[in-house]
Chains A and B, each alone.
Chain A
Amino acid sequence: MFSNNQIDINTLPSLEELELIPIHKNFLYILIINIGTIFVGAVGGLTFARWVSEDDGFSHFAFYLQGVLVVVGLIVMLIYYLGFKNRKYAIREQDMTYTHGYLVTKIITLPYNRIQHLEIRRSFLARKFGLSTLKIYSAGESGGDLAIRGLPMDIAERQYAHLTQIINDRV
């Protein structure tokens, strides 16, 4: 059976009509804790350095640096907080979409027939909150992989099984 009908682009399934599902809201805590740890660590390290050092000039400089770090840390947290509502995903019959980002919003879609392999990852914090990261790899060299962070453990596992099924059926 061969057909060669003209394609009406407007009737194609659209990414815009996707009903995107937000990730688990506990993931925000993980993000904040992660960012916080980095900045608190840096500020703490500088405090220690100031305590050890006897150079007044350095002490002053480090103090201002700490101030800057605190402000930058708060701004980063704010950006992540604002961007959190953009972290959504959607699953269709043929592909999977993930959106994220605040300053730069990204919508990335990966067709199932391009999946190379799958992976579930759990960091220490994620385990405590019962969350997982589902990573889907394509053969894309310059990106083109998809990582849905902050999925509830059971959903991640179900999706993993579902996608594995699709990959196995493919061959």
Chain B
Amino acid sequence: MTAFNFNNPSRQSVKGIVVIFGVSVYKVSKGILIASAALLLKYLQSGKGPDFTQPKFVLSIAAIVVFFLFIAILRFLNFKFYIREEYFFLKKGIINKEEISVSFSRIQNVYIKQNLLQQLIDVVSLSIETAGDDKTEIEITALSRPKALALKKLLLVGAKEQGLTESSEDSNVEEEVYFKASIKKLLLEGISENHLKSFILIFAFLVGIYQDLKEFVDNVEFAERFREWFQLESESMMALLLFNLTLLGILLVVSFFFSMIRMFVQNFNLTVLRKANGLEISKGLFNKINLGLTSSRIQTTTVSTNKLKKALGLYKLSFTQAMANKKQQLKFSIVGLNHSQIYELLEQFYPKGLNRLVRHKPNIYIVYKRLWINSIILLVVNIGLYFLPAEFLLLNLIFLLYIALNTYYMYKKTYYHVDENYIVLGGGGLIETISKYLEVHKTQAVEIKQTIFQKRRRLASLTVHSASKSITIPHIDKTEAVEISNFILYLVESQNKNWM
């Protein structure tokens, strides 16, 4: 047996007070961030800064801190959990008392997470995911790591003894570290990210705060300084262009580092353990997460890469898993895998002949549709360009080239495959390549969609809904869409296999 006794009600680690306190302070400060920033701006504009040394400031802040600390201690004292007769019990609440009990048989998964604060004081949080209802949320925010691991083991073993989880895994079997992403790999992954995405993200963010930003720029007389710097005379076209180009350049560099750092922070120390019934992934720099992936509960699997990553031999594998609890819905992804590792993992989850893919092509209409939509976008862009100097119209050449190549590769990479086990969909564009996998018995519903444009060509798109993401086979013959639906429905209805 484990060294920890969970039969008697126990509290979290005392450090839990710090975590609860930290979390509530974080929540509150996030909530009043905008208000306080606005106040600060007001003060700065009025010229006289607030006097923080005034006793009423100090006292009120101290009072707030003490209040939160008090609440945190009360929460800590009122938070108890224990295990009794195949049930996990949790009691919490200061004024509104809450008592939650979960039968082991309903436990789907147990997660161990660690945010920055928890890392600093060396505790982990443990959350229990249950089947069947999305209201109960069970999270113990501060446990020592060994205790959390012991509890996790107990809960999962208990669940297995009930014979209700499908795992055939023997807990004595050594877990094998399958993959560990090195720093170098992560750097390469970061460099080869689609920086355009981060660019758009940052750009959207800047547009969002444009008004405030404008004030700031005006205040520091940015444009003036810039003009002096480059010794530009007046508001000539050239000056404006150079100014904008420099801004663009800065933005590009920022987005490069943004995607780089994000990749690094999210996937730091990515480790994949391979088990008989799935995988266990742990990763993260500030927010460490540790999650289990059970094969039977995987819904869709996506393999993605881009031109650069492919050249470097980098592939990403993402999973969606059926969750009873929407809040706990997580996307699992493993970056930095090489081609043979991807193949091995796919083989583990989709063992029945994935190598015999028959790649059917969608109708050529998919190309026409893409070209139509792009033409409309191009038209709108050109209306904008019309107001700029004539040289800008040359940009159209680049756009046209991009559209042509992107559409060509989109068609080239798009395919679908349906057999009695799997639905596979390929896609992508000039840069990216994606393939998605779904087991047929994970189907929840099938949907045939036909727009009035498709109707004239007797085409339709087929969407297969799973318990997480759906997969859409685009623009195939209507009769074929119906046939595939019939086939999928037949398989789902005749086999009565569990989808979770």
A residues bordering B, Cβ < 8 Å? 7, 9, 12-16, 94-95, 102-114, 138-146
Contact = CB atoms under 8 A, between A and B. Distances in A.
Given A15-B486, A95-B493, A108-B446, 20 more contacts: A7-B420, A12-B486, A13-B489, A15-B448, A16-B482, A102-B452, A106-B448, A110-B444, A110-B445, A111-B492, A114-B443, A114-B492, A140-B470, A142-B465, A143-B447, A143-B465, A144-B444, A144-B470, A145-B445, A146-B445
B489 A95 contact: yes
Given A12-B490, A139-B500, A144 B445 contact: yes
Contact of B444 (A102, A104, A105, A114): A114
A140 B451 contact: no
Main secondary structure of the interface of A (DSSP, over half): mixed
Interface in B169-195: none
Contact of A142 (B468, B490, B492, B496): B468
A102 B486 CA distance: 23
B365 interface: no
B148 interface: no
A105 B444 CA distance: 20
B450 A104 contact: yes
Interface in B57-84: none
A94 B443 CA distance: 14
Given A12-B486, A95-B493, A142-B470, A107 B448 contact: yes
A139 B451 contact: no
Contacts of A103: 451-452
Chain B interface category by residue count: 20 to 34
Nearest to A116: B444
A108 B489 contact: no
A12 B465 contact: no
B112 interface: no
Contacts of B479: 16
Interface string B24-56: 000000000000000000000000000000000
A12 B448 contact: no
The interface centre, meaning the residue of B420, B450, B468, B499 with most chain A CB atoms within 10 A of its CB, is B450
A13 B483 CA distance: 9
A111 B482 contact: no
Contact of A141 (B446, B468, B486): B468
The interface centre, meaning the residue of B322, B420, B444, B496 with most chain A CB atoms within 10 A of its CB, is B444
A111 B489 contact: yes
A1 B329 CA distance: 40
A139 B446 contact: no
Contacts of A16: 479, 482
